[in-house]
Chain A
Amino acid sequence: MNLEIWLGLFSGIAFGFVIQRVGATDANKMAKAHLMLEGDIPRFMIMAVVLSAAGLFGLQATGIDNTSILPTSLVATGLAAVLFGVGWGFCGYCPGTTWAAVGEGRMDAVFALFGGLAGTALFAHFHEILIPLLYGPTNVGKITLGDWLGGKVPGLAALIVLFSLCIWGIGRLWGRKQHG
């Protein structure tokens, strides 16, 4: 086995361990997050992005740049996000947390995994029809906040301010009903 596979396995184990420990593999906790009863998981996710973005900025300064940005397709990315959101709110699992929840021994996650494989297979079968139809026409390219704001530093600053506001807002608005 080559090094890349060991790195993937190691990264996955660490990732799965942390998301279980914070409760992201618990569909009940995820439902509480979506119902605004508990703000821990969304704040955890958003804060992880803020720290990762700062870390990636530092990493790129050392010359290591393995970035790869996905394009924005107004229709495909937007429609996919709507479908994804509906499914996420419905079952309480994401593609990644599903694997960790399966490992944890949650049987409902095993069925989410089967459903996920079926959904992937269906999309893969119709890729040639759906991508030109939904993705291509409104694809506005691999744009970043840096492109909009004239540089990576203002882009990163905007992300940190925006996401910090989200974390603050979630802290204020989530969980009020349970205690009040």
Chain B
Amino acid sequence: MTAEKEKTTYWKWLPASFALAGIIVFVFTTFGPPASSSGYVSTLKGAIQHLAPEYVGEREHYRMMPDSGSWLFAFVLGMAIGGFVAGRTSSAQVSDVPQLWRRRFGESKAKRYLATFIGGFLILFASRLAGGCTLGLFISGSTQLAVSGLYFGVLIFVFAMLSARVVYGNPDKEET
């Protein structure tokens, strides 16, 4: 397990939280509560409205969101650019199949891609039902002292921990 002991160059959580909070307050100053799951709706609306304008006009979920010519889409696109720049300028290793996953399910990329497709499907379906995600509901909501954000936040952490236990098994046993 030498790979696991590899030094990562990740930032420490405390200074990084100041950086993120600075950005969040900037967003509250210049726009409103930051959100990312809404950006998926804007992406789809922008793509679909040219192909099927009547469909987009009929559906409340697309009517209530701006299309891709909006802050919401620019923000998620920006996140991809930010991730790209940060990835190119850091020494952090990028792998298509995470190590813990590999240990449990093997090297298969197809299996991992299927899993992340299902996971992505679940988190976005759920976010659209709740009206927001980790950022748009938990972080933005709790920043505004909203009960919805705190309620959502507690449950997502608890169920993610339970789900990870089931998916990865008991990590103590794997170590011995």
Report which A residues bind B (CB closer than 8 A). 4-23, 25-29, 31-32, 34-37, 39-45, 47-53, 55-56, 59, 64, 66-73, 76-109, 111-125, 127-128, 130-131, 134-135, 142-146, 148, 152, 155-156, 159, 163, 177
Contact status A86-B168, CB under 8 Å: no
| Chain B residues within 8 Å of A86, by CB | 122, 159-160, 162-163
Contact status B82-A53, CB under 8 Å: no
A64 to chain B minimum Cβ distance, whole angstroms, is: 6
Contact status A159-B83, CB under 8 Å: no
Contact status B129-A134, CB under 8 Å: yes
- Show 18 residue pairs from A and B whose CB-CB distance is below 8 angstroms, ordered by the A residue: A7-B30, A7-B71, A21-B10, A27-B101, A34-B165, A35-B164, A72-B146, A85-B158, A86-B159, A87-B119, A91-B119, A103-B82, A112-B116, A122-B125, A123-B125, A124-B41, A124-B62, A128-B60
Number of CB contacts from chain A to chain B under 8 A: 498
| Chain A residues within 8 Å of B37, by CB | 95-96, 120
Q: Please measure, in the bound complex, the distance between the C-alpha atom of A52 and the C-alpha atom of B27, giving whole angstroms.
A: 10
Most buried by B among A14, A155, A159: A14
Contact status B159-A82, CB under 8 Å: yes
**0/1 string, B31-69, CB within 8 A of A gives 1:** 111101101110110000000000000011110000001
B76 to chain A minimum Cβ distance, whole angstroms, is: 5
B111 to chain A minimum Cβ distance, whole angstroms, is: 10
Contact status B167-A90, CB under 8 Å: yes
Contact status A111-B120, CB under 8 Å: yes
Contact status B133-A94, CB under 8 Å: yes
| Chain A residues within 8 Å of B73, by CB | 8
Contact status B80-A16, CB under 8 Å: yes
Chain A to chain B: the 4 pairs with minimum beta-carbon distance, closest first: A12-B78, A16-B82, A91-B119, A85-B159
